[in-house]
Structure 1
Amino acid sequence: MITDYNLPDNIVDILNANKREDDDTFQELIRQGGYVPPHINLLIDAISALSMGKNILLKGPTGAGKTKFAETLSSLFHQPMFSINCSVDLDAESLMGFKTLAYQDEKQKIEFVPGPVTSAMNDGTFLYIDEINMAKPETLPLINGVLDYRRTITNPFTNEIITAEKGFNVIAAINEGYVGTVPLNEALKNRFIVIDVPYIEGEDLKQLIESNTKLTDKTTIDLFVTLSTDLIRAVYQGKLAEDAASIRALLDACDLSAIIPPKRAILRSIVDKLDEEREREFVKNLADTLF
């Protein structure tokens, strides 16, 4: 796994100054990371923004590594990270928490179980909001105050005003143009620093395969890098959906190829996920020419 990014000295100093002090709180939520940035400036800019208390929005195609990018920031800052996976069913309880019945000294009482937003704010951790443009437009305004300079929110279930502790930051991610997504309104978008996350290619992808999969054969790794390049080109040409060039799916195929034949690994990890027969045949033909 990649741990040494050869960051400039001033960025290393920023990380050291903003790392969470060692404690046992939510240690299991500090992610492992391992993201390989196509350009080191992506990492430098994200670290700079977070160190200033700014929110960042990771924008890019599916499978480009946005979640792994966020996990790497969690690792570098040694900062636990609560997560929200957005959908049309996302509601206030999913964000803030919910009330439940509990017992104390054999007496019934109502307790509030905090959700990811309240937990992250109260403990001063990162909050990751995945596919933020999948949420209903009426849901997200609830957390507008969390995303601006106020860093406060009124819990609708307890009427408590929560102010985020030091260290709290929001990292969000979007896949644009997908079914079920809605454009972010300007008020929400303006609360973020936007970082465009492209596909990982070439030597960077080779390094990622070597460090994050069980595949060790150099020749096969080079062929998978070539396959990825061909898939990405086909996506840009409109011949394939973005899912076909997912780096996550490619890494799965590399892992399986350590045990089963590469073409079958590609079939299980990439081809069978595609909806259109035309696209499935296209990818199978690419695999046939390489493996």
Structure 2
Amino acid sequence: MLLNELPQNIQEMIQERNKLFSHYDQEQIGENGFLSDDSSILSDAVIALSLGKNILLKGPTGSGKTKLAEALSHIFRQPLHSVNCSVDTDSEALLGFKTISEKEGKNRIEFVPGPVVKAMERGHLLYIDEINMAKPETLPILNSILDYRRKFTNPFTANVVKAKETFGVIAAINEGYIGTVPLNEALKNRFIVIDIPYVQGEVLKKVIQQESLLKDEKLIQQFIRFSDDLLFQVRNGQIPEEAASIRALLDSCDLAVFMPPLRAVQRGIADKLEEDRERAAVMNIAATLF
């Protein structure tokens, strides 16, 4: 997506925000490595974030949700604070925690801010990955942060934390995976939802060329066909979505530089699956191509 293809007022908003964050080092800004057949995915995300909307990225594992979040960080020149949710994610993981420190020979209790507080106070971007993996009782903390109030009372300090105007929230979700729970409607309604589909065809070829060590053109084409066949079986319910993960496919491409492709697929994809039937199905598909 070219920025000059966006509406003029959106371009002006981006330029103004870029000025605010131009002093940050490149390491603090995400890379613009998102690739998709659908250019509207990135442009719609840029527009939504420019308007102060929260974005919820829906898609299977390895489809590029984190890449899109990093691309938005790059476009807006805003540092990205990340939270990787799990079943153990609690309010401390989001907001921060209290600890004892020593200053001038005296012990004192101080609050160490977490990613949510840092992003709010500095006007940066917040990325909440696998948001539906967090404990349901933890997520209501985010409600007032995600709506028009853009503030909350910190339970650890009793202080009111208010977000700077440039603060933005991007969350990612994989629906139906083990350990995930459906987002309640009150939380989901605070987001603009953008669906991120599987990468295929020429876009997948570019991803492999850019992200993996594999350079053999013939082998790359075989892995693209292999990915298509995996997706077909996912849609038929024969194998789980994680079997068609682009991340796992790239692992296999890397391994295929140093070992036979069939063994690379076994190590990179098949052996990650839980059931013998699923592993056998993946290896049967691979055997027809490699």
Aligned to 2:209: 210
CA deviation vs aligned residue, 1:48-83 (integer Å, no higher than 9, x gap): 000111100001112212112212211222211111
Secondary structure of 1:259's aligned partner: coil
- In the alignment, the residues of structure 2 paired with residue 192 and residue 286 of structure 1 have an alpha-carbon distance, to the nearest angstrom, of 38
Aligned to 1:6: 2
- In the alignment, the residues of structure 2 paired with residue 209 and residue 16 of structure 1 have an alpha-carbon distance, to the nearest angstrom, of 32
Q: Which has the larger displacement, 39-48 or 6-15? A: 6-15
- CA gap 1:104/1:118 in 2 versus in 1, 3 angstroms: same
Aligned to 1:15: 14
Q: Which has the larger displacement, 144-153 or 11-20? A: 11-20
**Given residue 2 of structure 2, which amino acid in structure 1 is its aligned partner?**
N
**Given residue 137 of structure 1, which amino acid in structure 2 is its aligned partner?**
P
- In the alignment, the residues of structure 1 paired with residue 100 and residue 209 of structure 2 have an alpha-carbon distance, to the nearest angstrom, of 50
Aligned to 1:267: 266
- In the alignment, the residues of structure 2 paired with residue 236 and residue 115 of structure 1 have an alpha-carbon distance, to the nearest angstrom, of 39
Q: For 1:124-273, what aligned pairs fall within 5 Å after superposition?
A: 124-273=123-272
- In the alignment, the residues of structure 1 paired with residue 4 and residue 279 of structure 2 have an alpha-carbon distance, to the nearest angstrom, of 44
How many correspondences in the alignment?
286
Q: Which has the larger displacement, 204-213 or 68-77? A: 68-77
Query: How far off is 1:244 after superposition?
Result: 0.4
TM norm structure 1 = 0.94
Secondary structure of 2:230's aligned partner: helix
CA deviation vs aligned residue, 1:9-67 (integer Å, no higher than 9, x gap): 33682533432422247x53322241212200000000000011110000111221211
Aligned to 1:45: 44
CA deviation vs aligned residue, 1:226-259 (integer Å, no higher than 9, x gap): 0000001110110110010001111111122222
Residues 6 and 43, structure 2, Cα contact 8 Å, conserved in 1: no
Secondary structure of 1:211's aligned partner: helix
CA deviation vs aligned residue, 1:109-150 (integer Å, no higher than 9, x gap): 111100111011011111111111111221111111110111
Query: How far off is 1:7 after superposition?
Result: 4.4
Query: How far off is 1:8 after superposition?
Result: 4.3
Residues 38 and 198, structure 1, Cα contact 8 Å, conserved in 2: no
- In the alignment, the residues of structure 2 paired with residue 17 and residue 247 of structure 1 have an alpha-carbon distance, to the nearest angstrom, of 35
**Given residue 117 of structure 1, which amino acid in structure 2 is its aligned partner?**
V
CA deviation vs aligned residue, 1:170-191 (integer Å, no higher than 9, x gap): 1001111112211111110110
The runs of at least 4 aligned residues of structure 1 exceeding 6 Å deviation read: none
Q: Residue 278 in 1 paired to residue 274 in 2?
A: no
CA deviation vs aligned residue, 1:242-277 (integer Å, no higher than 9, x gap): 010001111111122222222121111101101111
Query: How far off is 1:288 after superposition?
Result: 1.1
Percent identity (aligned): 56
Q: Residue 68 in 1 paired to residue 64 in 2?
A: no
- In the alignment, the residues of structure 2 paired with residue 194 and residue 24 of structure 1 have an alpha-carbon distance, to the nearest angstrom, of 29
Secondary structure of 2:233's aligned partner: helix
Q: Which has the larger displacement, 111-120 or 81-90? A: 81-90
RMSD: 1.6
TM norm structure 2 = 0.94
Question: Which ranges in structure 2 are unaligned for 5 or more consecutive residues?
Answer: none
